[in-house]
């Protein structure tokens, strides 16, 4: 990314929905999740204007994760952080397992399952070889399966 505002807009359009779903799962409130996605893009705007990071998905998901953590710290009330899922035990188990993944792996799982994208689409989206994406995804699944057993 050369840093043109239009390209930043492309990144927003590509990642707004995945980041929203990620934040919604973290905070459980759609309006707040939207604010947190906005905050994520605001924090990354200047960096992206100077050039796109190698793994933009991992980077954005990393920032979103920090933004959500700050929100949890700001509102420690457990009611405020109630998950959007209807199955709390499953939600907690998956959340704990997802925490053990790195940002790149977590972003891949979101693109695959929240967005329903194929590995080829993800590879094109991230500008990476297909083999790199499938290998990383397989690694993420393996780790997740081990943690969830």
Partner 1 sequence: MTCHEVRGELELYLLGESGRSAEIQRHLDGCAACTRECGRAAAMLETLDRELSLPVAEGLADRIVARVRRPRRAWWVAAAAVLAAAAVIGFLKPARLDGIRATGSFEVVSARRLAWKAGTVRVEVERRAEPAVVETPSGEIRSDEGTFEVRDMKTSLAVAVLAGMVTLAGRNLAAGETAMLGGEPVPVKQEAPRQPPPQDPPRETPAMPPKEPPSKQDPPKQEPVPPPVRSEGLRIAVVDLKKCFDPQKSLWAREFEATLNKVIADMESDLAALDKRIRDLNEQIRGIPDRNSQLFMDKAKDLKIAEIQRELTRRMNQTLLQDRRRELANKVYGEISAAVSLIAVQEGYDFVLRMEEPALDEAVTETATARIVNRVVLYAGERFDITGRVIERVNQSFERKK
Which of residues 99, 100, 113, 132 is near partner 1 by CB under 8 A? 113
Q: Restricting to residues 15-44, name those near partner 1 by CB under 8 A.
A: 16-17, 20-21, 24-25, 28-30, 34-39, 41-42
If one asks whether residue 142 binds partner 1 (CB under 8 A), the answer comes out as: yes
DSSP secondary structure, the chain, as one string = ----HHHHHHHHHHHHHHHHHHHHHHH--HHHHHHHHHHHHHHHHHHHHT---TTHHHHHHHHHHHHHHHHHHH---GGGG--SSS-HHHHHHHHHHHHTS-HHHHHHHIIIIIS---HHHHHHHHT--HHHHHHHHHHHHHHHHHHH-
If one asks whether residue 63 binds partner 1 (CB under 8 A), the answer comes out as: no
Which of residues 7, 52, 103, 114 is near partner 1 by CB under 8 A? 114
Which of residues 57, 65, 80, 107 is near partner 1 by CB under 8 A? 80
Burial class of residue 108, CB neighbours in 10 A (0-12, 13-18, 19+): buried
If one asks whether residue 144 binds partner 1 (CB under 8 A), the answer comes out as: yes
**Residues of this chain that bind partner 1 (CB under 8 A):** 5, 8-9, 12-13, 16-17, 20-21, 24-25, 28-30, 34-39, 41-42, 45, 79-80, 82-87, 90-91, 94, 109-110, 112-114, 116, 118-119, 134, 137-138, 141-142, 144-145, 148-149
């Amino acid at each position: 990314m050369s840093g043109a505002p239009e390209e930043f807009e492309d990144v927003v359009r590509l990642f707004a929905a995945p980041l929203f779903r990620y934040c919604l799962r973290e905070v459980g409130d759609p309006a707040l999740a939207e604010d947190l996605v906005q905050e994520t893009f605001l924090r990354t705007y200047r960096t992206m204007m100077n050039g796109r990071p190698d793994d933009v998905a991992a980077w954005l998901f990393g920032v979103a994760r920090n933004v959500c953590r700050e929100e949890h710290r700001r509102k420690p009330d457990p009611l405020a952080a109630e998950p959007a899922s209807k199955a709390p035990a499953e939600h907690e188990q998956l959340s704990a397992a997802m925490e053990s993944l790195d940002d790149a792996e977590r972003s891949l799982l979101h693109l695959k399952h929240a967005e329903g994208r194929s590995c080829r689409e993800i590879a094109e989206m991230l500008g990476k070889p297909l083999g790199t994406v499938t290998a990383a995804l397989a690694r993420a699944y393996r780790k997740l399966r081990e943690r969830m057993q």
